[in-house]
Every structure is written in structure tokens, then in C-alpha cells.
């Protein structure tokens, strides 16, 4: 089933309306859809490298607005919808862990999740369920999702289609390494200043 969804997402890169599909997929992925929008972002950007940044911004906007829906689901409909979505992805056992992350890190947990391969919908829904400060949630989401998608768009803009295989193969590792460097930078800034 996931393979069929993946193929369905990918086929939008060859159709008119691919940019709208990117927005909608990014929107839905932030709260319930299983396929990350990076798949279509990469395909569209490879097809038109000069538009890579445009695609990255469309993807970011869709993802941020979708994160608001995820937050709302957790805030108002956790029992009715949120728990079912989390259960569908077999992430129910992670809720207590996420609660501890929010208590310790608050928006930093959202920022890290928004950039990494961690299922972002888990964090958007639980942010609402645990009543994380909404403006801070939006800022953290906007920062991390935009950074993630602009990084992908930049790689394709500067290196062209040849970078697609590298991104597809090593995306999770690259995201984790970048996140570690990002956290190390924040920690260094905290101790220096």
C-alpha cells in the first residue's frame, strides 16, 4: 500500500498541477499522510532546477499550515481522531516519551522533529494535545520545515539532477548529522553567550 502511495505521489511530478499537489501533500503529511513531501519536492526540483526554491517554499507553506491542523487535531480531537492517527502509525508507545521531550525542550522538540525523518505528524498532534504554546509551535515549525525543504531545494539547484540519488540514499543520515550540528551550535551559543 505504501509503495502505491509513493508511486502516486511521484507521478504528480509529470503532471500539470504538480506544484499544487506538492502543497497538498506537504499539508496532509504534517497531520496524517504517510509519504513525506520530499519525494515530490525532489522530483519537481530535478525536473526544473531553477524553480527549486519556489518548490521548497510551496512545500514549507503547505507543511506549516498542515502542522496547524495537526495541532488542532491534538488540541480538540485527540480522543476522537488524534489517537487513531498515532495508533495507525504504531506510535502510541511514544506519546509518554514525547511528553517528556516537551517538558524538557518545548519548541526545540518541534524544531528537531520538523527537520529530521521522525514522523512530524506525531509532534504536531501531540503539541496540541499537550497544549504547547501555539505561537512558539508555529515559529519552531516554520524554522525547521523551511530549513529542511530549502536545504533539499538548494542541493538540487546547485548540483542538479545528479544529486537526486545521493539525497534519496542518504537523506536520513544527512538529516541526523545536520540536526546534531544544529543542536551543537545552539549549545555552543548558549555557553559562549
- Per-residue pLDDT tens for 179-190? 676 566 545 545
**Most distant CA atoms of the chain, gap in Å:** 51
Residue 120 reports pLDDT greater than 60: yes
The sign one gets for the Cα dihedral 97, 99, 105, 110 is positive
Q: How confident is the model at residue 7 (pLDDT cuts 50, 70, 90)?
A: confident
Provide the percentage of residues in the chain whose pLDDT is more than 70: 85
Q: How far apart are CA 193 and CA 184, in angstroms?
A: 14
Give the domain ranges of the chain.
2-192
Whether this prediction's pTM lies above 0.85 is answered by no
What would the mean pLDDT of 156-178 be, rounded to a whole number?
74
- Per-residue pLDDT tens for 18-60? 899 999 999 999 999 888 898 889 888 888 888 999 999 999 9
Grid cell locating 57:
517554499
Residue 192 reports pLDDT greater than 50: no
Burial (Cβ within 10 Å: 0-12, 13-18, ≥19) of residue 128: buried
Residue 126 has a CB neighbour count (10 Å cut-off) of 27
- Per-residue pLDDT tens for 88-101? 888 888 888 888 88
Amino acid at each position: 500500500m505504501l509503495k502505491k502511495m509513493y508511486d502516486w505521489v511521484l507521478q504528480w511530478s509529470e503532471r500539470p498541477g504538480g506544484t499544487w499537489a506538492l502543497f497538498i501533500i506537504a499539508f496532509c503529511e504534517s497531520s496524517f499522510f504517510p509519504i513525506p513531501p520530499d519525494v515530490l519536492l525532489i522530483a519537481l526540483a530535478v525536473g526544473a532546477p531553477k524553480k527549486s526554491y519556489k518548490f521548497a517554499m510551496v512545500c514549507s507553506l503547505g507543511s506549516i499550515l498542515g502542522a496547524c491542523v495537526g495541532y488542532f487535531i491534538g488540541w480538540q480531537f485527540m480522543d476522537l481522531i488524534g489517537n487513531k492517527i498515532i495508533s495507525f502509525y504504531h506510535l502510541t508507545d511514544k506519546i509518554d516519551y514525547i511528553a517528556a521531550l516537551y517538558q524538557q525542550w518545548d519548541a526545540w522538540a518541534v524544531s528537531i522533529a520538523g527537520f529530521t525523518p521522525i514522523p512530524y505528524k506525531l509532534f504536531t498532534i501531540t503539541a496540541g494535545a499537550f497544549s504547547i504554546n501555539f505561537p512558539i509551535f508555529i515559529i519552531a515549525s516554520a524554522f525547521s520545515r523551511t530549513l529542511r525543504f530549502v536545504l533539499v531545494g538548494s542541493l538540487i539547484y546547485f548540483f542538479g539532477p545528479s544529486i537526486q540519488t545521493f539525497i534519496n540514499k542518504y537523506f536520513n543520515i544527512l538529516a541526523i548529522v545536520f540536526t546534531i550540528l544544529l543542536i551543537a551550535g545552539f549549545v555552543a551559543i548558549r555557553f559562549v553567550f
